Structure 1
Amino acid sequence: MKIDHSIDKKLIEDYKAGDKRALTLLVKRWHKSFCDKAYWMVKDKDVAKDIAQDSWTTIINNLEKLIEPKQFKYWAYRIVCNKSTDWLRIKSKNQKQSIGYEFEIENDDNKYTDNEQLKLELLKAVSTLSANQKVIVRLFYTEAYSLKQISDLLDISVGTAKSRLFHAREKLKIILKNKNYEN
């Protein structure tokens, strides 16, 4: 979907000039996309809506500081991604603290085809990655973002994005290789 950045620029300039209706139009224009992005990362619709709402609070409070209104999409997505990553980090920390909790995928060869089994193993392996690595893997492979776009979205250097992706791949290789020896 091609986004017309000039619409965002006009709405933001109108809002900065005092037109509160422009903010309403900006929210209508982007809210669903923010919910979708948050859901893609956290996989929980209610949490995604909360993250999008919390993101809007941050966006509105900092909209005056946005220097280049044409970059609103990337700036706002970065806020949504950061809030989603924060939520994932907290969730991961809470899961580690819970006693005896372990996620297992049922391994019934008759239940899944080889392709489905491979997908399940890959998903399980990805779930073991750190929150930062999960986000990079999802953005790169599922959303097909370039490393430059990922670095802009997450407000990290291209080198950091590259490094996280490399380490995530290496960890996945080890996990999947060890899994093949077990079978």
Structure 2
Amino acid sequence: MFQIDIVEECKANNRRAQLKLYKQYCDGMFYVAMRFLKNADDAEDVIQESFIKAFQKIEQFKGDVTFGAWLKRIVINKSIDFLKAKKQKLVELNEGYIHVAEDEDWSIEENISLDEVRQAIESLPEKYKYVVMMFLMEGFDHSEISQVLNISESACRTRLLRGKGFLKELLKDRRYVSGS
């Protein structure tokens, strides 16, 4: 059965199709939530809420992106909402007046592992951490990140640039980044 057929059956409230989509995406979405929440119980709660919302709003899924990409956005939004509810608020800065030059130099030494990069990202200040995570790890663009975090694209670019700078310094301090 093709994915679009399963989604259409879900739109018709077919419980088997919903279970099939759930089983197909549950593990992957759990890891997305864990990158934000760092707690398995919280991630499971967010995944459950995300799937409930996805099935409630499945009529809004138009197929212009994959179902997985659509669901991932819901999971990330729910994860951030969860963090906000726990008083770990994202600080919105008025950085719109700053023009940021794009810098695509993300070079690091070849011997650094993905886990080491993740650990460094985790130690970033929160306002930069989420932008860097969504850009580097989730593949979101500035427009998508600004919508999810409810910030301007200019603020998104600024936070990414500053977050990248912090990240490079953290990795350089750990002797992972090539000297530039």
TM-score, length of structure 2 as denominator length: 0.62
* Equivalences for residues 124-163 of structure 1 within 5 A: 125-126=123-124, 128-130=125-127, 133-141=128-136, 143=137, 145=139, 147=141, 151=145, 154=148, 161-163=156-158
* TM-superposed deviation, 1:41: 1.4
User: Contact 2:142/2:157 (CA < 8 Å) preserved in 1?
Assistant: no
Task: Show structure 1 runs of 4+ deviating over 3 A.
Answer: 90-94, 118-125, 148-161
Q: Distance in 1 between matches of 2:144 and 2:131?
A: 7
Aligned to 1:66: 61
Q: Distance in 1 between matches of 2:11 and 2:138?
A: 34
Aligned to 1:50: 45
Q: Distance in 1 between matches of 2:147 and 2:47?
A: 15
Aligned to 1:87: 82
Structure whose residues are more often helix by fraction: 1
Q: Distance in 2 between matches of 1:89 and 1:40?
A: 15
TM-score, length of structure 1 as denominator length: 0.61
Q: Distance in 1 between matches of 2:54 and 2:119?
A: 38
Kindly report the root-mean-square deviation, in angstroms, between the aligned alpha carbons of the 2 structures. Answer: 3.8
Note the alpha carbon deviations across 1:35-59, whole angstroms, 9 max, x for none. Answer: 1110121111110000101111111
Percent identity over the alignment is: 23
* Equivalences for residues 156-171 of structure 1 within 5 A: 161-170=156-165
Aligned AA (1:81): I
Question: Closer, same or farther in 2 for the Cα pair 1:83/1:19, shift >3 Å?
Answer: closer
Gaps of 5+ in 2: 90-111, 174-180
Whichever of the two has the greater Rg, that structure is 1
Match of residue 22, structure 2, among 14, 27, 34: 27
* TM-superposed deviation, 1:153: 8.9
User: Contact 2:122/2:129 (CA < 8 Å) preserved in 1?
Assistant: no
* Equivalences for residues 103-122 of structure 1 within 5 A: 122=120
Q: Distance in 2 between matches of 1:159 and 1:7?
A: 39
